[in-house]
Chain A
């Protein structure tokens, strides 16, 4: 597959994932009033600090993200979501796997990254 066609397919898959997987799940979560983070200040709160989930790096913590395959990565993220009680997020796994396989890179980041999508990195 030439580069232009490959990029076109990647683009299509990302858009399709957003429309067909992210959107319905987002609607569902909104209906259940489920939120992953606060969007505005809480004037009555005394502090916005929280305790870190991991306050010290133990030796095994250094190895947690050292996965060898897309399946392993998605298994890890799936386990994380299950452990948090966010079971509905595991519905995303199949779609993410499809995109990740297409993107399994030949190893170079070609484009500049816009600073405006900081939050994506």
Chain B
């Protein structure tokens, strides 16, 4: 008899649900995609409903619901933290007590009430869930496991070992000593939003020089040879106040934090470069130590810090491990999947089967909802939107590729939505990577976001080494590698002194023959696209290569700044009409902007989404 196990992450950041049947991942989705509220922390009732629908089961058919965190140990940490910082910390306590004592204490009751049944409710430790999400879907029989995030119960970092159906944690670093919280503190100081702006800090780093490394290591964090670390908490506000940093922290970097949305100066660029360098040092040392204590040739990674694809790329380049696999939903959302998986193997005793193809079991992370051709047609007909239907996938790919080659920007929605923060060709905005203006058009007229970040290259898997210094697959856009030397173009840094205006002087230079996806340090956040994993997307890139000779497309998530990635045809159409996207593709339907009826949007929609 098959077991249906539902994993849930909720009540802090990026709620999600994941459903497995025995050891097969059936569905997984973040709640934000349905509620249209970025990083929605609320109970993931929409995501749960979707998962049950995908499996054609009712909630009473669930064998267990597994929560990704241990509320008892989290509560223990909260109370001990209060006792350590009192008389400070009162504001935090008053603000948080409702969630901590009101919801998390009775998660089991909450789940029963929300689902309308009394399921078997199980709990897993937070880093155990991350470790499970990294190891079980990987293609490895055994692997060293490294999980690094802000905090989960007491742990902030864990090293473990996975073998067949068993996951074991061997070493931990405990709160308040967290490289995730250190990175978030610097993110905040540089004027970006905590828990969502960390990837901007990573994107800003190549503009700066790592001149603050010694200061960070002298004052903020002590790093040992085995990669373990400890913060000096007198520089941080997160233990006892409503901000991440304090006056002592400001003094290290010579002044107040940058105000959000204000001009970015050399100081922020240098701080970003320095923090990134410190993070890479810690991650490399942790990986090396994980290798020493496990002896495995394979490494798997999860936890929010594992989304730092630059650090991941450095670990790969160091050659510490033969193989690396990173959970694409590495943050808390992925904890839902890990919770379900570890219960399957270590509670229900299901035997793990590795994908016989040698590939992972994550199904390309295309684990979310899809919409049939009939559903899309019904949507378009009801609204009377003009469209062109092209049934033949090869023909459709040619039309889309030609549009991209002509410099058009394409909103592309096809198949099941991605699970995790990256758009992997199911909910993507696509452009021509060869054009130097693509980056600024896509950033400023479509995403309405800062101009300094380039887009990701999605490249035919078999051509990756022709464009990038990378000879392994990177299907989840979680590895950074340099554009090949022979494709790089010399850059003039002379006019670049400080400030965002001067950043544009760099951005507008063609850095390679694929400038829209080449960062100013020649790095690129690579997605390899495989015919088996995502045939429709592969065909578009292949057709683009046939037309232009370039087997790469510029890819960014299908959303505007602050908006969750689109989920439904309605979300996609709204985003299409609110931006300068030229062509919208929803399954086999193509909609051209100049053929659409005038869009009458009375809402001040840019205020609809809080800027990230």
Q: Which of B93, B175, B176 contacts A22 (CB 8 A)?
A: B93
B83 in contact with A29 (CB, 8 Å): yes
B448 at the interface (CB under 8 A from A): no
Chain B residue with Cβ nearest A25: B83
Chain A CB within 8 A of B117 CB:
no
- Give, as a whole number of angstroms, the nearest-CB distance from B547 to chain A: 45
Q: Does A38 contact B (CB under 8 A)?
A: yes
Q: Are B173 and A54 in contact (CB under 8 A)?
A: no
Question: Chain B contacts of A42 at CB under 8 A?
Answer: 222, 230
Whole-angstrom CA separation of A77 from B229 in the bound complex:
29
Segment among B16-24, B103-111, B474-482 that sits at the interface with chain A: B103-111
Q: Give min CB distance, A7 to chain B, whole Å.
A: 9
Interface string of A9-31 (1 = CB under 8 A from B): 01100110111001101110100
CB distance from A79 to the nearest CB of B (A): 10
Contact of A59 among B108, B232, B346 (CB under 8 A): B346
Beta-carbon contact of A118 and B97 below 8 Å: no
A2 within 8 A of B: no
A residues 25-49 in Cβ contact with B at 8 Å: 25-27, 29, 35-43, 45-49
Closest approach, in angstroms, between the C-beta of B84 and any C-beta of chain A? 6
B172 at the interface (CB under 8 A from A): yes
B122's partner among A11, A40, A66, A92 (CB-CB below 8 A) is: A66
Scan A48-75; emit 1 where CB is below 8 A from any B CB, else 0.
Answer: 1111101111110011111111100100
Which residue in A49, A92, A107 is a CB contact (below 8 Å) of B226?
A49
Alpha-carbon separation in the docked complex, A76 to B106 (Å):
13
**A104 and B102: CB pair below 8 A?**
yes
Contact with A along B90-121 (1 / 0, CB 8 A): 10111111111111111111100110000001
Interface size grouping (class) on chain A: 35 or more
Q: Which residues of the other chain, A, contact B103 by a CB distance below 8 angstroms?
A: 105, 107, 109
Which residues from A are CB-within-8-Å of B342?
57
Q: How far is the CA of A70 from the CA of B158 in the complex (A)?
A: 31
Given contacts A47-B224, A114-B242, contact A37 B80 (CB under 8 A): yes
A44 to chain B, nearest CB (A): 11
Residues of B within 8 A of A50 (CB): 171-174
* Interface positions of B from 220 to 248, Cβ below 8 Å from A: 221-222, 224-226, 228-234, 237-239, 241-244
B162 nearest CB across to chain A (Å): 11
Assuming the contacts A62-B123, A120-B100, asked whether A36 and B222 have C-beta atoms less than 8 A apart, the reply is no
Q: Identify A23's interface contact among B84, B87, B160, B173, CB under 8 A.
A: B87
Q: Which of B11, B155, B221, B343 contacts A121 (CB 8 A)?
A: B11
Q: Contact at B84–A41, with CB atoms within 8 Å?
A: no
B71 contacts A65, CB within 8 Å? Answer: yes
CB distance B106 to A120 under 8 Å? no
Chain B residues touching A, majority SS: mixed
Q: Contacts of A103 on B, CB cut-off 8 Å?
A: 97-98, 101-102
**Contact call A11/B172, Cβ cutoff below 8 A:** no
Residue pair B169, A52 in contact (C-beta under 8 Å): yes
Measured CA separation A40–B234 after assembly (Å): 8
B172's partner among A52, A81, A120 (CB-CB below 8 A) is A52
Contact of A22 with B226 in the complex, beta carbons under 8 Å: no
Residue B264 at the chain A interface, CB threshold 8 Å? no
Give every chain B residue within 8 A of A27 (Cβ-Cβ). 86
Q: How far is the CB of A70 from chain B (nearest CB, A)?
A: 6
CA separation between A80 and B153, bound complex, in Å? 14
> Distance in Å from the Cβ of A43 to the closest Cβ of chain B?
7
Query: Chain B residues with Cβ under 8 A from A64's Cβ?
Result: 70, 72, 123
Contact in complex: B99, A15 (CB < 8 Å): no
* B176 with A77: CB separation less than 8 A: no
Q: Name the distance in Å between B600's Cβ and chain A's nearest Cβ.
A: 31
Structural contact, A66 and B232, CB atoms closer than 8 A:
no
| Complex alpha-carbon distance, A103 and B347, angstroms | 32
The answer to whether A11 and B101 have CB atoms under 8 Å apart is no
Closest to A96 in B: B101
> Nearest 5 A-B pairs (CB), nearest first?
A103-B102, A41-B222, A120-B96, A26-B86, A48-B228
Could you list 20 examples of A-B contacts with CB < 8 Å? A10-B98, A14-B94, A22-B83, A26-B84, A39-B233, A46-B224, A48-B177, A50-B171, A63-B123, A66-B123, A73-B105, A77-B72, A107-B43, A118-B12, A118-B195, A118-B238, A119-B81, A119-B181, A120-B99, A121-B104
User: Which A residues are closer than 8 A to B by beta carbons?
Assistant: 10-11, 14-15, 17-19, 22-23, 25-27, 29, 35-43, 45-52, 54-59, 62-70, 73, 76-77, 80-81, 89, 92, 96, 99-100, 103-105, 107-109, 111-121
Known A51-B171, A65-B71, A67-B106; further 15 A-B contacts with Cβ < 8 A: A36-B83, A38-B177, A41-B222, A41-B231, A49-B173, A51-B172, A63-B123, A66-B121, A100-B102, A105-B102, A109-B99, A109-B103, A117-B92, A117-B242, A118-B195
